[in-house]
A and B are shown apart, each in its own frame.
Chain A
Amino acid sequence: AQTVTQSQPEMSVQEAETVTLSCTYDTSESDYYLFWYKQPPSRQMILVIRQEAYKQQNATENRFSVNFQKAAKSFSLKISDSQLGDAAMYFCAYRSALLIKAAGNKLTFGGGTRVLVKP
């Protein structure tokens, strides 16, 4: 079974500064997808970024970028130029890419990291 670990329960960042959230995962599969979701106080889960394991290039979405280290099974999220609206819980998630029609769409989540943004 796959596991996802987020070792930082809470991170604090000054507005306009950069913060990096850590995520490690354990899997025996070679093909999979990794995600970062944001959950603000409204509780709505919002997709931040997605990484395909077969792609060496790190994904980037505006101020959000990842550092994907497949051999180390590490998938960190960097938030640049932090804004007050970035304050939220951030969840790292794993999904297998093997035989999606059989394995289904199960996401395995880490425990989350709360990001506080100081003005």
Chain B
Amino acid sequence: GESVGLHLPTLSVQEGDNSIINCAYSNSASDYFIWYKQESGKGPQFIIDIRSNMDKRQGQRVTVLLNKTVKHLSLQIAATQPGDSAVYFCAESPTSGTYKYIFGTGTRLKVLA
């Protein structure tokens, strides 16, 4: 598999428990945020996004929370499953209308059976 996750922080969670993955973003002017999931040897997949005029958004088994005061983003995964094992990273869009995102380094999620 790919070596992209060699030096990443790791979160180990029991199957069925909830997972919380955190991300600190850098620019207070960022107005759009995305969480991606990357499995070994594959490209990142979009999970959920949120705009800066919201503080919470829910998807299927996932919730993203945005705290603009402390520039913090979190991804909550309910009832974590083995298929959730991957590297998760956030991305921020510093300015509306630009194509350029800033990506976090990621967190490796390991689901324990």
To the question of whether A and B form a pair in one complex, the answer is no
* Interface, chain B (partner A; CB < 8 A): none
